[in-house]
Structure 1
Amino acid sequence: MKPILLVHGGAGDIPASRVSGKLDGIKKSLRDGFKLLNNGQSSLDAVEEAVRSMELDDNFNAGYGSCLNSDGIVEMDASIMEGKYLKAGCLTLLQDIMHPISVARKVMEKTNHTFIGGESALKFAETHNFKPLTKGSLVTENAKLALDEFKERQAKGLDTIFSPTELDKKSVEELGETVGAVAIDVDGNIAAATSTGGITGKMPGRIGDSPILGCGTYADNEIGGVSTTGHGETIMRFNLAQRILQLISLKQVPVQQATEDATREMTQRLIGTGGAITLDKQGEVGIYFSSERMAWGYVKDNKLIYGINKGEIYREDL
């Protein structure tokens, strides 16, 4: 099997001013992650490294650069899953740790559990040598500005983030981005990972789709792997990752069509927008988003293939 790494950097109403930074970050993430695949390391190692790269980049809503909740605090969600034994690690409401995706992997590998959250997640991270940052270290100026703008709109009655059926499509598109990766290695093992700061102005304690298996993340060697992004409440209610994999496994729908069909149906039924990246067990790629933009890219046959606008594809040497 030829190794493949596929990543996304969030779907939503991404302003033109952020396009260049997101594309640069996508390319760096792909190079960082694929280097491990090319050296014979596992798909699990590759997706973790690709996501770690984006967690360090404030062009993305994960790790440093995460959105702020209504109290101005970063609360992060993440999940990681491998497709051979269907093992996974998920965490939520993590504060003051740079790499939530690596903590999620420790949950998978060092506990008998799948999902932990809140203060217990922070204590678990400390126990496994993740050094807590000074409070507020993950808060960026862009995140502060976004929260201020959100609160101004909310005061004018222009934002209601938890009732997407009451919003027009444009408003829902503004609500969420995320980062994620899916990979297949030379042994045919599939892994997927997703990390996010959630949505600007969320209630403290709100949990999105990203740490929930079958919604934000799923990997199964017998079918494929998915990472999703977009409006979390919508993705959770539709169970987007599993919907895509069901089309592939139960109806033998090709991976690109399955990714498109499930994402389109989600938005048609629930208004909320989003996107997904998918790899099937043969290494075929599926990419689709119903939002205005989604940063995405993959490496295949030593070529970088990436984009952010609908109908736009760039190619360059790895």
Structure 2
Amino acid sequence: MIEVISKSVIAEAINQLASDIHFMPHVDSYQIFLRINGQLHFYKNFPLSVGKQVIAHYKFLANMDVGEKRRPQSGACQFFVNENQRVELRLSTITDVNLIESLVIRVIFSTIHQAQQINAYFPKQVDLIRTLIRKKAGLILLSGPVNSGKTTTIYQLLRERVKEEKLQVITMEDPVEIKESSFLQTQVNEKIGISYDLLIKSSLRHHPDILFIGEIRDEETARMTLRGALTGHLMIATIHAKDSLGVIARLNELKISQEQLKQSLIGVVSQRLIPRFCPLCQSKVQLSCPHIPKAFQRAALFEILYGKALKNYLGQLNLLPCFSPINSQLRKAWAYGYICQKDYEHFEIL
């Protein structure tokens, strides 16, 4: 019974293309929410006893301590919905003040990311990023919130380039979210000492053409990424920052100097995925909208710092007018009727 319920929740998440499943505890029940297109949608209620058993089942599958309910835990597992559907799950538990566990499951299903084009409100922005990624050597950095499509964008553009040229692409991620047979994909495993900086160091000995680093988290990873760019490799990495200028500030915090960035940095991209406005429904696209397919219910906006604007900023001069910040992109998308006013105000960076 509990196994059937557990499978049904995962199956519904896959059917709705949900990125996360939230088990939120209350006094006598669990409320289950699915995060779809960045927003939480109520799925169903479970009695408290059933919810606890379902969480225990997931914890068992992820090799977590089923008996430990006080300390936060994390784990991972593969979940077979049927013979043809297998997803990667990343689990995280936290106990509330009433000593009831909450659970969030991140659902990673790579087959969804095999799109042949990138959904963007302004396609010329994608063309510009495509031009940057065709450089022979240097550093390209991407920022954006979780589930904003950064990895999907990079993978698709790298696929395009690999189809045209015989290149070795090595990726290192935590975890690998998109399976791609034409890349050499590696995965971080801190428990056995496989960190980002170790993978970068080892990958550089493979003499690859392009390296993709899932996230720059610390000084050592930043230093090794920069070293790869300065030694003739194209290095592409993501880093947490609210916008493109914030990326450079974050690198400075990680003790990367302006002079080092001048020598290596090709461009900085900040990406957002924003729900489309449906002119027929006269509202933001919802799950029930019959006019726009699920895979196209959100599209990307990009803030791209490159060329003379980047050079000026690194030289501590004023940015040139050609740099269009994310707020300008949002205003333009709203003015064209692509997004609703509420989302324009929600995603605007203050």
With normalisation by structure 1, the TM-score equals 0.28
Q: TM-score, normalised by structure 2?
A: 0.26
Say which one has the larger Rg: 2
Higher relative contact order (CA 8 A, sep 6+): 1
